[in-house]
Amino acid sequence: MGEVFAGRYELVDPIGHGGVGAVWRAWDHRRRRYVAAKVLQQRDAHSLLRFVREQAVRIDHPHVLAPASWAADDDKVLFTMGLVGGGSLVHLIGDYGPLPPAFVCTLLDQLLAGLAAVHAEGVVHRDIKPANILLEATGTGRPRLRLSDFGISMRLGEPRLTETNYVVGTPGYVAPEQLTGAEPDFPADLFAVGLVALYLLEGAKPDAKALVEHFAAHGTPGAPKGIPEPLWQVVASLLEPDPQARFRTANGARKALVAARELLPEPGPDDELIEIFDQLGPLPAGFGPEGPLTTTQASARPHEQAQPQEQLPARPQRHDSAPRLPDPNASPPSPSPRTGAVSPEVHTGAVSPTVHPAPELPSA
């Protein structure tokens, strides 16, 4: 069996990597369920402080995926999260390419709703990107989005862990004011939401630098082909280089998005159906749906353990993407296997809707 951490969490198999830790599927012996566990892989004080800050985020919202619990054992620390199987937006774009505008509106509405809850607690996420936006495996049903990975988030007024002139965030999703050393603020997160929107609509990572230069030289560009004008007006407002001209709140952007969605045509019977598949692999030998198997259980079910995982039908690949702004030759990124297939999950009634100070870790 796997290593049992802090007498409670049994590490089953690695399923991803976060900013400062490896993510494992783990069995929680106390709650009798599988969870995701991020285990700190760097032991320097700087990484440990970021780790403690991340696990201290406690925001209870259906579209926010915050840590649920934490533990320390000798020289290791971990925090646990719910296990989400649908992968990230990177997986979705890899499967389908550009998504239908109405479907994008649903995803953006959920993202902005979650971000509004984060901002209401005074937290700036600072790393909104497709790989950190995860999905439940809902099949062809309504998508359920989760905003995850608070590894570099911070509360307004909280001291930085880096030098003032050091830019924190993922290249290509950083607001222009952050590149000049401005203090982290909510509009910077909203700029990243605009880039995510363009990524979903065009099926490729936008060129943020070229967009900012175009805005500066020519003003707001016209809607790219394939993006309805009402929706483009919302996206363009999120992408304003001047934070004062941008949406100031996630709720404000969400209201504008709802109004734009009402002007879009309803999906027709011939429109492509988007299906969100389970991206997690099968449990390794020795583990079943109810947790680790006993010797008797394992010997009684050898045929079950030997069965290969059922193969899902191949997902259709889209090749009819519209010209992209500003880089029409950009190609969709290739998602790494299973990256983003895990996420924190809100446990209803088990966590507080507020952000608590980070607790002190026990001594090794």
Instruction: Give the count of alpha carbons within 13 A of 180, CB side only.
Output: 7
Q: Give the pair of three-digit tokens for residue 145.
A: 């989005």
Distance, C-alpha 343 to centroid of its chain? 8
User: Which amino acid type is present at position 31?
Assistant: R
Provide CB contacts within 8 A for 313, sequence distance 6+: none
User: Which amino acid type is present at position 328?
Assistant: P
Q: Which of 95, 127, 149, 207 is catalytic?
A: 127
Its sign, for the CA torsion 157, 161, 167, 171, is negative
Q: Give the pair of three-digit tokens for residue 44.
A: 């320097």
* Distances, alpha carbon 257 to alpha carbons 231, 234, 261, 303, 336, in Å: 7, 6, 6, 52, 31
Rounded Cα distance between 325 and 221, Å, is 9
Burial of 233 (0-12, 13-18, 19+ CB in 10 A): middle
Note whether 206 and 199 are within 8 A (CB). yes
DSSP collapsed to 3 states, 78-142:
EEEECCCCCCEHHHHHHHHCCCCHHHHHHHHHHHHHHHHHHHHCCEECCCCCHHHEEECCCECCC
Active site residue 327: no
User: Which amino acid type is present at position 240?
Assistant: E
* Distances, alpha carbon 293 to alpha carbons 27, 299, 302, in Å: 12, 9, 11
Rounded Cα distance between 46 and 209, Å, is 30
Note whether 145 and 114 are within 8 A (CB). yes
Q: Annotated catalytic sites, by residue?
A: 127
